[in-house]
Amino acid sequence: MEDGELYGIITAMQRMCMNDGPGYRTSVFMKGCHLDCQWCHNPEGKSRYPEVIPFVANCTGCMECLEVCPTGALSIIGESKPRIDRGLCSTCLQCVNICKYDALILWGKIVTVEYVMDEVMEDKVFYMHSGGGMTLSGGEPMVQPEFTLALMKAAKDGEIGTALDTCGQAPWEDFEKVLEYTDLVLFDIKIMDSDEHRLYSGLGNELILENAKRIASSGINMRIRIPVIPGRNDSRENWEATAKFIESLGDPVQGVDLLPYHPYAGGKYKAFGMDYPYPVGEGLEDEGLVPIVDFFVDHAPEVTVGG
């Protein structure tokens, strides 16, 4: 690593995406999030820094990782299920290096702007013909505002369209800089009641809603993304409050994307040996979405399911 060079931390890059903005896109998943949503579909993206995560299905219970762990952070419970005490883990990677079965994985890669853009640029021809580009997602891109800003600048310099997928929980001063190089904002609105939002996401939503208003006032195109979580935000009262707020944002809102809870998240938590408050292997059935779609069709220019 060279002194003075800007680095960021990502969990993954996914090419040829079609659900993170228009056209074909490369989605860059940044690590770290200000919120702690119970239903998060990317738990590996919550922590700001690289971390070791167990992949319990691969564990044979050989105990070699316990033997090399210098801090005693590892334990094996039940039927060969590794557990990591985050308070003790120093991310020394000795356990990752010794495991022959990929039962311990390092999530979070330290990268440069050049590294990311080299991969993004490989699909430029597809962006040009489809109206696509690069989407910064996560986690939450605004947890790493300087790196996010540098990536957006680099994309615009390369004549690539840009989208920012955000939960909205970040200082406006950071948003203001990034938005100068942003073509589209995919803005999450989870729950309108602030107390309920704090209960299920860890923080109230005052800053989030204020930032949504400011982004709309700037005139940048927006799509509102709503995770549909049974028993959390699928009440008629929340729909009506959300629709009223969306209508108040005006013309910049191009549509609403309903993102239904699906079983893949539960499978990921199970594979990582993490607790999940929803039934693993179950998802929101299509018939459960029909009344929600019907409602928002009357309150948004366009409604999609799945983004």
Based on the fold, state whether residues 77 and 167 are members of the same structural domain: no
CATH number of the structural domain spanning residue 155: 3.20.20.70
Task: Give a yes or no: residue 151 inside a domain.
Answer: yes
Examine the pLDDT at 288 and tell me if it is beyond 80. no
Based on the fold, state whether residues 103 and 196 are members of the same structural domain: no
Least confident of 112-121, 150-159, 283-292: 283-292
Least confident of 61-65, 112-116, 118-122, 199-203: 61-65
Question: What is the pLDDT at residue 83?
Answer: 84
Task: Give a yes or no: residue 1 inside a domain.
Answer: no
Q: How many CB atoms lie within 10 A of CB 270?
A: 15
**Segment 74-113, tens digit of pLDDT:** 988 776 678 888 889 999 999 999 999 999 999 999 999 9
User: Could you report how far apart the first and last alpha carbons of the chain are, in Å?
Assistant: 37
Give Cα 295 to chain centroid, integer Å: 26
**Segment 137-184, tens digit of pLDDT:** 999 999 999 999 999 999 999 999 999 999 999 999 999 999 999 999
Examine the pLDDT at 296 and tell me if it is beyond 80. yes
Could you say which of 89, 107, 125 is where a domain stops? 107
Based on the fold, state whether residues 167 and 79 are members of the same structural domain: no
What separation in angstroms does the CA of 154 have from each of 5, 116, 130, 150, 181?
14, 10, 20, 6, 9
Residue type for position 253: V
Based on the fold, state whether residues 118 and 163 are members of the same structural domain: yes
Based on the fold, state whether residues 240 and 224 are members of the same structural domain: yes
Task: Give a yes or no: residue 213 inside a domain.
Answer: yes
Examine the pLDDT at 287 and tell me if it is beyond 90. no
Average pLDDT, the chain: 92
Question: What is the pLDDT at residue 283?
Answer: 64
Based on the fold, state whether residues 67 and 204 are members of the same structural domain: no
Task: Give a yes or no: residue 44 inside a domain.
Answer: no
Examine the pLDDT at 241 and tell me if it is beyond 70. yes
Task: Give a yes or no: residue 2 inside a domain.
Answer: no
Task: Give a yes or no: residue 177 inside a domain.
Answer: yes
Examine the pLDDT at 293 and tell me if it is beyond 60. yes
Q: The whole model's pTM is what?
A: 0.92
Question: What is the pLDDT at residue 216?
Answer: 98
Task: Give a yes or no: residue 59 inside a domain.
Answer: yes
Could you say which of 107, 136, 152 is where a domain stops? 107
Give Cα 118 to chain centroid, integer Å: 22
Question: What is the pLDDT at residue 110?
Answer: 96
Both tokens of 83, joined, read 């557990």
Both tokens of 176, joined, read 């203001």
**Segment 10-58, tens digit of pLDDT:** 999 999 999 899 999 999 999 999 999 988 988 889 999 999 988 888 8
Based on the fold, state whether residues 179 and 296 are members of the same structural domain: yes
Both tokens of 47, joined, read 């922590």
Domain carrying residue 256: 7-36+110-305
Name which residue leads in pLDDT, 256 or 83: 256
Examine the pLDDT at 118 and tell me if it is beyond 70. yes
3-state secondary structure 168-224: CCCCHHHHHHHHCCCCEEEEECCCCCHHHHHHHHCCCCHHHHHHHHHHHHHCCEEEE
Based on the fold, state whether residues 243 and 270 are members of the same structural domain: yes
Name which residue leads in pLDDT, 3 or 40: 40
Based on the fold, state whether residues 75 and 174 are members of the same structural domain: no
28: Cβ contacts below 8 Å, ≥ 6 apart:
10, 13, 116, 120, 134, 135, 136, 137, 151
Task: Give a yes or no: residue 154 inside a domain.
Answer: yes
CATH number of the structural domain spanning residue 72: 3.30.70.20
Q: Would the CA dihedral through 144, 204, 283, 47 be positive or negative?
A: positive
Question: What is the pLDDT at residue 284?
Answer: 66
Our count of domains for the chain comes to: 2
**Segment 211-240, tens digit of pLDDT:** 999 999 999 999 999 999 888 898 999 999
Based on the fold, state whether residues 67 and 190 are members of the same structural domain: no
Segment 245-268 mean pLDDT: 88
Question: What is the pLDDT at residue 80?
Answer: 65
